[in-house]
Structure 1
Amino acid sequence: MSNTFRTSSYHWRNRYLLMRHGHSQANEQGLIISSPERGLNAFGLSALGEQQLLETVEDWQWTTPTRVVHSDFLRTTQTAERVASAFGLTLEKEQRLRERYFGELDGQADRYYPDVWALDAQDADHQQYQVEAVSRVAARLCAVIEGLEQQCSGETVLVVSHGDPLQILLTALANKPLTQHREQAALLPASITRLGG
């Protein structure tokens, strides 16, 4: 699955391939796994996710990455490893790319996501259920991209993160209200969205 995303007038110094992790055990079990305590060492890729990564790497349709930066959760680390090994690259862990924290709903059924998203649509700063505010997620992911833009030029950076954070990032980069992040096209497991030239 491939998308191309263009921000209004910004001239990117690098290309970015924003990748959602492959189908995970959390997806398979219908669970919200958003805390480091649950996500760093468990709930990695499912068998379907492993197959998705195998197919993605075998049929690579994007510019060859020169760097791989990833969330340190197990599912994102495994996703990044599959791509990095195919291109002989080393991994760069980045905690700011972690999953959005869903507070009291962490470890609960994923049927609660729409409840949080409905609140997001009203207020990007809300912290109902002790969830991480959309505005905070946007700030930390934008900081990663801004940092990469300052550090290097002419690179193709594969950024491996999670569905909600990436949709929030894309909304922020498009200069749209963060309350509209769920209006952003859904990012499927193992999908890649290209930023820049």
Structure 2
Amino acid sequence: MSAHPLASPSTVAAHRGLNRLLEIASGLQLAPQTERFYFLRHGQTECNARRIFQSYEEPLNATGIAQAEAAGKALAREPIATIVCSDVARTHHTASIVAAHHVLTPNGAQGLRERHFGELIGSSSADLDWDCRPAQGETLDLFVERTRDALEQALLQPGPVLVVAHGGTLYVLAALLSVPVTPTLLGNAHPLRFDRIDTGWQATALAAALQGGPVNLS
């Protein structure tokens, strides 16, 4: 496995922040009691397209709905038994579109929410430093620990489990499992399958990402 599983950031601050995320994750453990599970980031929002820190109420835009529908068709071929999603608007909407193909009801989980960026909401996220300490927001340490605990609970559900969450969630998941994540895999509504292998875990894209602009992880 790669010693540095996260995507290569474009700025010094981003490098520092992701290195700090890896450091935090290295002190934690996530050991899913399953051989396979699935992950899906929510579809695109207008704030994603504009690279703006967004609130939990931000909805999917038209592109995001189309992305979720395409992901739903790709995941319809998979034996998904449970869908657990972040309970914010954009993820629950995405999960509901996918769930219709399986006659399932998504289980909302507050712990799977994206990191809360406090007073940064509404400002540019183009040069996101994950190690920032936004006023009235969530520190990186708290976010990683909260996300790890929520992922553990989600993956204890009857499987195979599909987790529908956020770009930040995927970063934490990759760090915890030492799985390389490329910018392509981080795209909105890009369905991924995680499989246990001899050396740990690997992520496989189940369909080509439906592009909707630059990757924005908030």
Cα deviation code 1:67-103 (max 9, x no counterpart)? 1111111110110000011110011010011011112
Q: 1:110 aligns with which of 118, 125, 130?
A: 125
Output the TM-score relative to the length of structure 2.
Answer: 0.66
Cα deviation code 1:135-182 (max 9, x no counterpart)? 222212221232245x445x11111111122212211222x9xxxxxx
Q: Which residue of 1 aligns with 2:191?
A: 192
Structure having the higher helix fraction is: 1
Q: Which residue of 1 aligns with 2:85?
A: 70
Secondary structure at 1:86 match in 2: coil
Q: Which amino acid aligns with 1:139?
A: E
Taking the TM superposition and a 5 Å limit, the aligned residue runs for 1:1-197 are 12-13=33-34, 15-33=36-54, 38-40=55-57, 43-60=58-75, 63-111=78-126, 114-117=127-130, 120=131, 127-129=133-135, 131-149=137-155, 151-152=156-157, 155-174=159-178, 184-186=181-183, 187-197=186-196
Secondary structure at 1:12 match in 2: coil
Against the structure 1 CA distance between its residues 13 and 129, is the aligned structure 2 distance closer, same or farther, given a 3 Å change threshold?
Answer: same
Instruction: Give ranges in structure 1 of 5+ residues lacking alignment.
Output: 121-125, 177-182
Cα deviation code 1:4-57 (max 9, x no counterpart)? x9xxxx573253211110111221343211xxxx323xx211111111122222
Output the TM-score relative to the length of structure 1.
Answer: 0.72
For 1:62 and 1:29, locate their aligned partners in 2 and report how far apart those are by CA, in whole Å: 33
Aligned residues: 167
Q: Which residue of 1 aligns with 2:206?
A: none
Aligned structure 1 segments of 4 or more residues deviating by more than 3 angstroms: 59-62, 128-131
For 1:76 and 1:164, locate their aligned partners in 2 and report how far apart those are by CA, in whole Å: 13
Secondary structure at 2:146 match in 1: helix
For 1:159 and 1:11, locate their aligned partners in 2 and report how far apart those are by CA, in whole Å: 13
- Is contact 2:120–2:134 with CA below 8 Å preserved after alignment? no
Secondary structure at 1:55 match in 2: helix
Q: Which amino acid aligns with 2:141?
A: S
Q: Which amino acid aligns with 2:133?
A: Q
Report how far residue 133 of structure 1 moved. 2.4
Secondary structure at 1:110 match in 2: coil
Against the structure 1 CA distance between its residues 184 and 21, is the aligned structure 2 distance closer, same or farther, given a 3 Å change threshold?
Answer: same
Report how far residue 190 of structure 1 moved. 0.3
Identity %: 29
Against the structure 1 CA distance between its residues 130 and 185, is the aligned structure 2 distance closer, same or farther, given a 3 Å change threshold?
Answer: farther
- Is contact 1:72–1:94 with CA below 8 Å preserved after alignment? yes
Report how far residue 61 of structure 1 moved. 7.3
For 1:78 and 1:26, locate their aligned partners in 2 and report how far apart those are by CA, in whole Å: 16
For 1:104 and 1:91, locate their aligned partners in 2 and report how far apart those are by CA, in whole Å: 30
For 1:148 and 1:88, locate their aligned partners in 2 and report how far apart those are by CA, in whole Å: 19
TM-align CA RMSD? 2.8
Against the structure 1 CA distance between its residues 128 and 59, is the aligned structure 2 distance closer, same or farther, given a 3 Å change threshold?
Answer: closer
